[in-house]
Structures are given as C-alpha cells and as structure tokens.
C-alpha cells in the first residue's frame, strides 16, 4: 500500500478479526520500511508490508519479488527433523502452550475423544518453550539430539577419530601399517588444525559413530598456536551438551600427543574400544 491507497473497510475488518493494532491513517503495519521482506514468525506466512512513504511501483514490486523468492527457498527446505509432540493422555487442554508458542504451531485437536492440543509440525521450530511451560509435562521434542543419539542400535561399532594432520595423523598411520586388522572399526579424518573442529561437527558425527576421539598436538607444540586448546574447548562443550541431554559424555574423548607417540595413541584407542 502507498499514499494512493486508503485502508478501507476490508483493512478495518482484518484488523478487528485478527486483533491487530491500526496505526496512522488506519494501516495495520504503520510506516516501517526497514521490515523487508516481511517474513513472519510462522513458517509459510508472509506479509507485504505497507510502506506509505515510498512509491508503490518501485517498492511494492521489489518486495513481492523478494518475498516470492523467500517462499521458493522455504518450499525447497527439507521437512522438519525436530518438532514438539503432545501426549494426549497427559494433556490437560489448558491452552498454556497455545498462548506462549511464538510460531502459532499449537492448535486444538477436536478429533480425539476428549479435546487436546496438537502440534502443527510444519510450523514448529522446536524451540522448546511449550515444553518448559506445560504444567502437565505432556510435551516433548521429538527428532532432536536425544532421540538421534539414543538410536545406538542403528550405529556402527566404529570409532571416529578427528586428528591433526601433523601429529596424531602420523602416529595413526604408523599404527595402521603394523596393526591393520585392528583398524576395521576405526574411521579417520585429518584436519590441518585442531582449531577447525567445531562442537556442531562433533555432535553430528555421533549420529553415525558410537565413540569419537579428537587427537591433536601437545600444548605449546601446535603449529597453529592454540588450535589444540580450541579443540579441547569444543570437546568440553560437546560433553556438556551430551550430559545435559542425559546421555553418556564419555562417547567423546580427547587426547594430546606428538607424531612419535604411537604407544599413547594405541593405548587410548584400546581403552575407548
């Protein structure tokens, strides 16, 4: 909308039905040219913001084009892996989750014998607000970290080793040359620096491997100064996340060694396996 367009009865009706505050000359969004391209807090819902201070042709068309592009991107995104799930046997139908959900993902379900709340998975961001406020403890997050990491039966028995290419990788190669049969359950990935290893990568790999080892240089020997220390902080954070989820933090291990410390590497692998 622009100066040449007046709000009219339709805008008044929309504002009344949706309980939206009207500003200035009756427009809903007011004069907010910085809100661009006006995506909302709910997936799949967009707004072309009315900007009365800008020409209709140039601004409205560009906003529409940008929003259509955003819609295309959202349509191509994979389905939600994580979402809130309501246990109908526990739900007290108190509307608490419905009131606090910032994404309008909770909705009454009247198709059950007794009315309960249900989650609209496509709109859910799995933010966990509903879980924290539900007085009946009827809501859980499904498809999240805890669910994925508890599926150990589907995991291989292998050990994933993220190692520094200048230290642990060399030690591992020496071991592999002599004890190749012992490496059937080990998958090795070398990195140029331990500082490149991130907590998100560590957690993600636990979906594929039961155990994980981060092996980097000893203190003051790292060619990238404090890369080994940064790696340790990432491992510590990953262990904290596992513990907070009620999972075994010992699934992730950390060791510091040089390229010549094959015995230490062998002992560490033996202990983990």
CATH of the domain spanning 153-272, picked from 1.20.1440, 1.10.8, 3.40.50, 3.30.70? 3.40.50
How far is it between the farthest Cα atoms of the chain? 83
Q: Give the mean pLDDT of the chain.
A: 79
Helix (H, G, I), strand (E, B) or coil at 209: strand
Per-residue pLDDT at 49: 59
Instruction: Round to whole Å and give the CA distance between 128 and 132.
Output: 6
In terms of pLDDT, which residue wins out, 3 or 87?
87
pTM of the model: 0.46
CA atoms within 13 A on the CB side of 246: 5
Per-residue pLDDT at 35: 45
| Tens-place pLDDT, residues 179-214 | 556 677 788 888 888 888 889 899 988 888 889 999
Give the CA angle between residues 124, 149, 79 to the nearest 5°.
Answer: 30
Q: Which of 6-15, 80-89, 199-208 has the lowest mean pLDDT?
A: 6-15
With bands split at pLDDT 50, 70 and 90, how would you rate the model's confidence at 155? low
With bands split at pLDDT 50, 70 and 90, how would you rate the model's confidence at 36? very low
Q: Which of 12-16, 81-85, 106-110 has the lowest mean pLDDT?
A: 12-16
Does residue 127 surpass a pLDDT of 90? Answer: no
Does residue 143 surpass a pLDDT of 60? Answer: yes
Per-residue pLDDT at 133: 92
Does residue 7 surpass a pLDDT of 70? Answer: no
Per-residue pLDDT at 75: 76
- Percent of the chain predicted with pLDDT > 90: 22
In terms of pLDDT, which residue wins out, 175 or 5?
175
Per-residue pLDDT at 113: 79
Question: In which residue ranges of the chain is CATH 3.40.50 found?
Answer: 153-272
Question: In which residue ranges of the chain is CATH 3.30.70.20 found?
Answer: 83-143
In terms of pLDDT, which residue wins out, 156 or 71?
71
The residues pairing with 142 across neighbouring beta strands, listed in sequence order, are: 83
Per-residue pLDDT at 110: 86
Q: What are phi and psi of 164, to 5 degrees?
A: -70, 130
Listed in sequence order, the DSSP H helices in the chain are 8-18, 61-76, 96-100, 129-133, 145-149, 168-178, 199-205, 227-244, 262-272
Asked if 63 contacts 49 with a C-beta cutoff of 8 angstroms, the reply is yes
The set of residues, in sequence order, having a beta carbon less than 8 Å from that of 263 and lying 6+ positions away, is: none
Instruction: Round to whole Å and give the CA distance between 207 and 210.
Output: 8
Write the CATH number of the domain with boundaries 83-143: 3.30.70.20
Helix (H, G, I), strand (E, B) or coil at 173: helix
């Amino acid at each position: 909308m622009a100066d040449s367009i007046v709000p009219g009865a339709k805008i008044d009706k929309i504002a009344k039905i949706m309980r939206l505050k009207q500003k200035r000359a009756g427009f809903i969004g007011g004069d907010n040219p910085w809100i661009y391209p006006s995506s909302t807090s709910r997936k799949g819902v967009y707004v072309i913001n009315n900007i009365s201070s800008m020409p209709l042709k140039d601004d409205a068309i560009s906003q529409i084009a940008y929003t259509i592009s955003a819609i295309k991107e959202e349509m191509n995104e994979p389905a939600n892996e994580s979402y809130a799930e309501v246990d109908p046997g526990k739900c007290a139908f108190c509307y608490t989750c419905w009131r606090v959900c910032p994404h309008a993902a909770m909705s009454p379900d009247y198709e059950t014998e007794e009315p309960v709340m249900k989650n609209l998975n496509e709109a859910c961001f799995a933010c966990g607000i509903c879980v924290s406020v539900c007085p009946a403890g009827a809501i859980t997050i499904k498809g999240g970290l805890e669910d994925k990491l508890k599926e150990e039966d589907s995991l291989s028995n292998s050990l994933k080793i993220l190692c520094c290419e200048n230290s642990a990788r060399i030690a591992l190669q020496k071991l592999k040359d002599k004890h190749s049969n012992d490496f059937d359950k080990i998958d090795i990935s070398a990195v140029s620096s331990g500082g490149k290893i991130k907590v998100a990568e560590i957690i993600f790999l636990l979906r594929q491997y039961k155990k994980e080892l981060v092996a980097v240089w000893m203190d003051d020997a790292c060619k990238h100064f404090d890369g080994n220390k940064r790696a340790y902080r990432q491992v510590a954070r990953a262990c904290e996340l596992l513990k907070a989820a009620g999972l075994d933090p010992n699934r992730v291990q950390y060791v510091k060694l040089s390229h010549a410390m094959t015995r230490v590497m062998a002992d560490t692998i033996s202990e983990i396996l």
